[in-house]
Amino acid sequence: MTTQTPTSTTLARRTVLAAGGAGSAAIAAGAGTLPTAQAARARHDVFAHGVASGDPLPRRVLIWTRVTPTRAATPGSGRGPRVGVRWEVATDHRFRDVVRRGRFVTSAARDHTVKLDVSGLQPETTYYYRFIARGQRSPVGTTRTAPAKRATPANLRFGVVSCANLQAGWFSAYRLLAERDDLHAVLHLGDYLYEYAPGQYGMGQDNVDIRPHDPAREMVSLEDYRRRHGQYKTDPDLQALHAKYAWIVTWDDHEVTNDQWKKNAENHDDTEGNYLKRRARAHRAYDEWMPVRMDGTASLGDGARLYRRLRFGDLAEISMLDLRTYRSKQVETPLVDSEINDPSRSITGNRQLEWLKDSLTRGNHAPQWKVIGNPVMIAPVTFADLPNRLVDPVNDVTGLLPQDGLPYNVDQWDGYTADRREVLGHIDDHQVKDVVFVTGDIHSGWACDLPLDTSAYPVLGDSMGVEFVCSSVTSNNLKDITGQPALTPVVEATIMANNRHIKYLNFDDHGFSVLDITAERTQMDWFIIGSRDDKQTTATHDASFQTLAGTGTVQRVATPVGDR
């Protein structure tokens, strides 16, 4: 795979982690060890969970780590003393030019995590960061600030991933992205980890556990969520990608439990206690363990406000959505339940919906591309779709027909058609251009137009934007679930025949995507990996689609951006 350095890079990037390298390798490759480090490592690894950065702004970026001050102070244990951690940010990987430094005190109250919002940085600049505690230096991380608000970067390039189930396979997609030197950041669109116990939702039909979850039970308690976050962050490929690039993340459902909504979840029952208390524990652990600004700050809060915007000069703004915390309950009988059209039901919640509409129409100084980090699909995927002018009269009599046809998955925007029509209608009413939804969740790759009326498209009506959906890192797809790969082409052909706005669909492969944005177009490249149980599997290019500025539609292109 050939890659290129981003055209707007101001400092050369350097690889600080070898492919698949773990913490000790990064220490040696980065800044060396302190005199006492060898003895300290003989006791335990203070920085066993690596380093990370996230939510880059022009003059600020989050940096993160977790320290293990004593061998007993494992994630979720509640053990271990308060400990001071020194941190440094420099313009060079040898830390000869340290531009920011400080000290942070952490404790078991926050699971010994460290999360700092480093300010006073320069826009569009590569920085190196590290932590020091208990006689050890952490791995060296690399991060990059966003362009200045009025800057005009030549391009932006992001890795795009979602749905990484540790039990279902090795995180080769992370390793392969970490080997690239041409990204500005990584977008993770949800299901960063999974709640299930060993033997539940592993790899394929037999639920084979490539690596069993810890703890060996479904996550319910605060200790459970902390331990599971800690387990995932010991994966060397995940550590490598966190250390290489800043991440911009949102959650979907499995960070708490399957098919959650604002008051409960499909995978929660009375034996597991109060759901809202469970969710609060999950959100607290997420806040502690992820390099993300919750409630607009880096300090730990109630872990509730995740939706936020990040601007990248005049070229693009990314609006990250939370489509679990505020949503109404999913309908139970979607084929005969007109509640999916009910405007009192919402997938976003009223406040976030108004915020999203504002993100799309921000006045004369709005960035060109409006990129929406979207945990579940917004493009309609339906069957037996009737024109809108016929649905309303029929519903006056029966009240049974969904607004946009019969959906196959009401856990996504198809189950909340009033919200979708509100968003797409807002785009139409204000003539908003260059809207791109980038989505995870569905364990498959898609490229779609977003028409107001799917039944008449493309003969009548325009597309309001496009949607690019990335495949899963490891989580089971259609072939894995059915065990019958011969069925997949039939299913794909049927869906595309009934949904003319869908231009690309891959139900059978795992991997990652790369999103590249220029003033002329936004392009998504899909890369697929080999077997999930092969640690050394490689990636191949599967497809590329772009949307040209001002068009609101997708079209296939021959080559990925790194090969030009």
Q: Read off the pLDDT of residues 171-229 as tens digits, 9 standing for 90 and up.
A: 999 999 999 999 999 999 999 999 999 999 999 988 999 999 999 999 999 999 999 99
Burial of 410 (0-12, 13-18, 19+ CB in 10 A): buried
User: Would you say residue 4 lies in a domain?
Assistant: no
Q: What is the pLDDT of residue 298?
A: 74
User: Would you say residue 473 lies in a domain?
Assistant: yes
CA 525/CA 547 separation, integer angstroms: 12
| One domain, residues 132 and 205 | no
What is the crossing angle of helices 222-232 and 275-289, to 10°?
30
Say yes or no to pLDDT of 299 above 80: no
Q: Taking Cα atoms as reference points, which of 374, 460, 347 lies closest to residue 190?
A: 374
| One domain, residues 141 and 193 | no
Q: What is the pLDDT of residue 36?
A: 47
Domain boundary among 123, 145, 167: 145
User: Would you say residue 10 lies in a domain?
Assistant: no
Q: What is the pLDDT of residue 206?
A: 87
CB-based contact 88:140 (threshold 8 Å): no
Measured CA distances, 379 to 83, 149, 439, 509 (Å)? 49, 31, 10, 20
Cα torsion angle, 473, 478, 484, 489, sign: negative
3-state DSSP of 385-399:
CCCHHHHHHHHHHCC
Say yes or no to pLDDT of 3 above 50: no
Backbone angles phi, psi at 316, to 5 degrees: -155, 155
| One domain, residues 278 and 156 | yes
User: Would you say residue 15 lies in a domain?
Assistant: no
Contacts of 216 (CB under 8 A, 6+ apart): 197, 198
Mean pLDDT of 18-47: 48
| One domain, residues 136 and 262 | no
| One domain, residues 282 and 378 | yes
Domain boundary among 116, 145, 174: 145
Identify the three-state secondary structure at position 112.
Answer: coil
Q: What is the pLDDT of residue 320?
A: 98
**Of 296 and 197, the one with more pLDDT:** 197
| One domain, residues 73 and 160 | no
Q: Write out pLDDT tens, residues 361-381.
A: 986 678 999 999 999 999 998
Say how many C-beta atoms besides its own lie within 10 A of residue 352's C-beta: 22
User: Would you say residue 381 lies in a domain?
Assistant: yes
CATH number, domain of 450, equals 3.60.21.70
The residues facing 297 across adjacent strands are 294
**Of 15 and 525, the one with more pLDDT:** 525
Say yes or no to pLDDT of 394 above 50: no
Domain boundary among 94, 119, 145: 145
Q: What is the pLDDT of residue 225?
A: 98
Share of the chain above pLDDT 90, in %: 76
User: Would you say residue 337 lies in a domain?
Assistant: yes
User: Would you say residue 19 lies in a domain?
Assistant: no
Mean pLDDT of 105-112: 98
Count of domains forming the chain: 2
Q: What is the pLDDT of residue 404?
A: 55
| One domain, residues 244 and 291 | yes
**Of 1 and 465, the one with more pLDDT:** 465
Q: What is the pLDDT of residue 532?
A: 96
Q: What is the pLDDT of residue 444?
A: 96
Say yes or no to pLDDT of 347 above 90: yes
**Of 391 and 48, the one with more pLDDT:** 48
Say yes or no to pLDDT of 346 above 90: yes
Share of the chain above pLDDT 70, in %: 86
| One domain, residues 137 and 219 | no
| One domain, residues 269 and 379 | yes
User: Would you say residue 120 lies in a domain?
Assistant: yes
| One domain, residues 105 and 225 | no
Which pTM was predicted? 0.90
Say yes or no to pLDDT of 76 above 60: yes
| One domain, residues 496 and 453 | yes
- Is residue 354 within a helix (H) or strand (E), and if so which, with residue range? helix 350-360
Lookup result for tokens 């991380």: 141
| 44-76 burial code (b ≥16 CB/10 A, e <16) | bbbbbbbbbbbbbbbebbbbbbbbbbbeebbbb
Q: Range with the lowest mean pLDDT among 275-289, 379-393, 453-467? A: 379-393
| 374-394 burial code (b ≥16 CB/10 A, e <16) | bbbbbbbbbeebbebeebeee
CATH number, domain of 35, equals 2.60.40.380
Give the pLDDT band (50/70/90) at residue 403. low
Q: What is the pLDDT of residue 563?
A: 58
Q: What is the pLDDT of residue 409?
A: 87
Give the pLDDT band (50/70/90) at residue 423. very high
Say yes or no to pLDDT of 501 above 60: yes
Reduced DSSP (H G I as helix, E B as strand, rest coil) percent helix, strand, coil of the chain, to 5: 25, 25, 50
Say yes or no to pLDDT of 143 above 80: yes
Strand pairing report for 141-144 and 156-161: unpaired
Say how many C-beta atoms besides its own lie within 10 A of residue 302's C-beta: 11
| One domain, residues 169 and 101 | no
Note down the domain range covering 361.
146-563
